[in-house]
Structure 1
Amino acid sequence: MSLTSQLNEISTLELAQALMERLSISPNDWHRLKSNRNARASEQLAAAMVFLLQNQPQEAQARLEQAVGWLDKSISAPPCPTHGKS
């Protein structure tokens, strides 16, 4: 079975969820990628697609705005929540 045939067996939502999972920054990679604008924007765009396909346009828009913020440098990574705690 060709890759195209295999992909046709998967719903659009499932494909979007798989992409979101692939692009999500894992806790192990957080420090390395927390300020990587492309990685953060990609993560947010994939989440926006999932929310849009789930008919949740407000959540999708919020993620799109976050992605744009990463790309236009209007937002930055927050500090690690585990740093600075005693």
Structure 2
Amino acid sequence: MLQTDQDKKASHIRNLSTLELAQALMERLAISPQDWHQFKSNRKVRASEQAAAAIVFLLKDQPEEALQRLNQASSWLDRSISAPPCPTHGRATKSG
């Protein structure tokens, strides 16, 4: 019996550890350097990124780090934090 692509994907996912799945999710949700300016202030994107990181830290038995990331995710959602300005914009550069 031939496996369908969907069956192969499901089988692959079942073979991954919970930590590997969480790390894959964290990588998927991380803002890439080329997308930073587009998403740096997007609250849903930033909260998702931090929540995924929290799961990874929790699975690695680092509850303090997990809590920090969960607090950051919560702060993005409740609007108590905002993205800092980009360090490479708005500053005059020194020339020799």
| Length-normalised TM-score, structure 1 | 0.95
Aligned length: 86
Unaligned runs of 5+ in 2: none
Deviating more after overlay: 69-78 vs 3-12: 3-12
The answer for the alignment partner of 2:37 in structure 1 is: 31
The answer for the alignment partner of 1:79 in structure 2 is: 85
1:17-56 correspondence to structure 2 within 5 Å: 17-56=23-62
Deviation of 1:33 after TM superposition, in Å, equals: 0.3
Distance 1:74 1:26 in 2: 24
Q: Match for 1:8 among 14, 22, 28?
A: 14
Question: Kindly, what percent of the aligned residue pairs are identical?
Answer: 67
Q: What CA RMSD, in Å, does the superposition of the two structures yield over aligned residues?
A: 1.0
Q: Match for 2:70 among 53, 61, 64?
A: 64
Moved over 4 A (4+): none
| Length-normalised TM-score, structure 2 | 0.85
Larger radius of gyration: 2
Deviation of 1:6 after TM superposition, in Å, equals: 1.8
Unaligned runs of 5+ in 1: none
Larger RCO, structures 1/2 (Cα 8 Å, 6+ apart):
1
Deviation of 1:82 after TM superposition, in Å, equals: 1.0
2:23 is paired with a residue of what secondary structure? helix
